[in-house]
Amino acid sequence: MQNPISSLYDISLKEKRMILGLMSGTSLDGLDLALCEVTGYGFHSKLKLLKFHSQPYDPVYSQMIKEVFAKRTIDLQRLTGLNAWVANYHAGIINDTLRSWGISRGSIDLIASHGQTVYHAPQRLTQDYDMPNASLQIGDGDHIAQKTGIITISDFRQKHLAAKGEGAPLVTYGDCLLFRDDKRDRVLLNIGGISNFTYLPRINSSSDEVVFGSDLGPGNTLLNQYMQKVYGLPMDEGAQLASQGKVLEDLLSELLRVPFLQEPFPKTTGPELFSISLLDSYLKKVKSVNHHDVLATLSAFTAQSIRNGLEEVIADPDHCDLYVSGGGVHNPLIMTLLSERWCVSVRPIDDLGISADAKEACLFAVLANELFAPQVTKYQILDSPSVRMGKISLPY
């Protein structure tokens, strides 16, 4: 068996790397697996998506994570055990998926594992300035490497935090490397549990505009939390229930006044803020609650908070294209509300040659690839450090 350190050296010399990107978001709906061929590095990076699979989580996984997810008071023994348990669960999915694809583990250079976020704690959210910006993703890389036999890169957010970032959103780095255009400004919007975006000014722009990424506010998280609470279901599939309701304008106005939404970009947030307890505090002011109306209002809240934020960013709509990815692209109500009465065309990220569902998993493959680049890329992203991200776990 080859010395694993020698394997790292050999990987660093390759012009092309086969990387399996993994993404498990705050929606807790499943694990995305994107097998990518990544060529070059930095601004010369090119990515080819070879295979993609999204494995839905079984109810046991979702329930186990919900015991510790976005809560300040938890069972620490449970959290400690889940760090390994999640990794073993994900490793099992990896092994099964590679078998179904007919791909040997020996043909994979690296696994790039985002892990499962259980708590995101930037100072702007916690208001605890005695503690640094922090974020916790579980799903230990050593366990994944051991069970799959593949070198695993994980825990990407910690280097960003250590370099005085907020740990999110990290997709901005991959967006910057892959998707800038010579002639058009681009905004890449991702609607997951939380909505976030990357602003990419055209490369030949004569202005002083720079690349930056930021969270916007809620994506699917409040809708999913409300569905779970009221109906015991993970989501409103196809917005079937929300489409039957009407928007409660007073409730929507109250929600749009959440202080985070008024803060300047860039900023980060999470389900720790946009939680069912926040919604309940506003619902107390509503005289009668029709569940369909609440779902319709939450859909409008997601769409309007996105539009309000992006209207601050898109100064020249005639020379800017908006591309959307993430689970929210499958919500017809949110997509309709997002497009209504807006002069910016809304397109799926698929138009740029990458699957809307696979994009985030692919971009973590790009981050893993950057770890092996001969030099650190100078991204010049506003308020974001130029650093290599990810920790290396060797098998055996």
d(Cα 262, Cα 37) in Å, to the nearest integer? 40
- Residue 343's pLDDT band (boundaries 50, 70, 90)? confident
Percent of the chain at pLDDT > 90 equals 87
- Single-letter amino acid, residue 106: G
Instruction: Please give the pLDDT value at position 20.
Output: 98
User: pLDDT digit string (tens) for 127-152?
Assistant: 999 999 999 999 999 999 999 999 99
d(Cα 43, Cα 66) in Å, to the nearest integer? 39
Instruction: Please give the pLDDT value at position 396.
Output: 85
Residue in 396, 368, 364 with CA at minimum distance from that of residue 32: 364
Q: Are 295 and 241 in contact (CB under 8 A)?
A: yes
Torsions phi, psi of 115, nearest 5? 85, 180
Question: What are the beta bridge partners of residue 321?
Answer: 186
User: pLDDT digit string (tens) for 66-108?
Assistant: 999 999 999 999 999 999 999 999 999 999 999 999 999 999 9
| 25: pLDDT strictly greater than 90 | no
- Residue 204's pLDDT band (boundaries 50, 70, 90)? confident
- Residue 207's pLDDT band (boundaries 50, 70, 90)? low
- Residue 298's pLDDT band (boundaries 50, 70, 90)? very high
Instruction: Please give the pLDDT value at position 4.
Output: 76
Q: What is the chain's mean pLDDT, rounded?
A: 94
d(Cα 122, Cα 125) in Å, to the nearest integer? 6
Q: What ranges make up the beta strands (E) of the chain? A: 16-24, 30-39, 46-56, 110-121, 134-138, 152-154, 185-191, 194-200, 212-218, 320-325, 346-348, 391-393
Residue 259: asked if its preceding bond is cis (omega within 30°), the reply is no
Instruction: Please give the pLDDT value at position 55.
Output: 97
- Residue 218's pLDDT band (boundaries 50, 70, 90)? very high
Instruction: Please give the pLDDT value at position 236.
Output: 96
Torsions phi, psi of 216, nearest 5? -105, -40
- Residue 58's pLDDT band (boundaries 50, 70, 90)? very high
- Residue 206's pLDDT band (boundaries 50, 70, 90)? low
- Single-letter amino acid, residue 267: K
Instruction: Please give the pLDDT value at position 205.
Output: 65
Residue range 177-203: mean pLDDT, rounded: 94
Instruction: Please give the pLDDT value at position 46.
Output: 97
Q: What is the pTM of this model?
A: 0.92
- Residue 253's pLDDT band (boundaries 50, 70, 90)? very high
Residue range 106-135: mean pLDDT, rounded: 96
DSSP notation for 76-135: HHHHHHHHHHHHHHHHHHHHHHHHHHT--GGG--EEEEEEEEEEEE-HHHH--TTS--EE
Q: In the structure encoding, which two tokens stand for residue 180, read together?
A: 């800038």
Residue range 375-391: mean pLDDT, rounded: 93
Residue range 347-359: mean pLDDT, rounded: 94
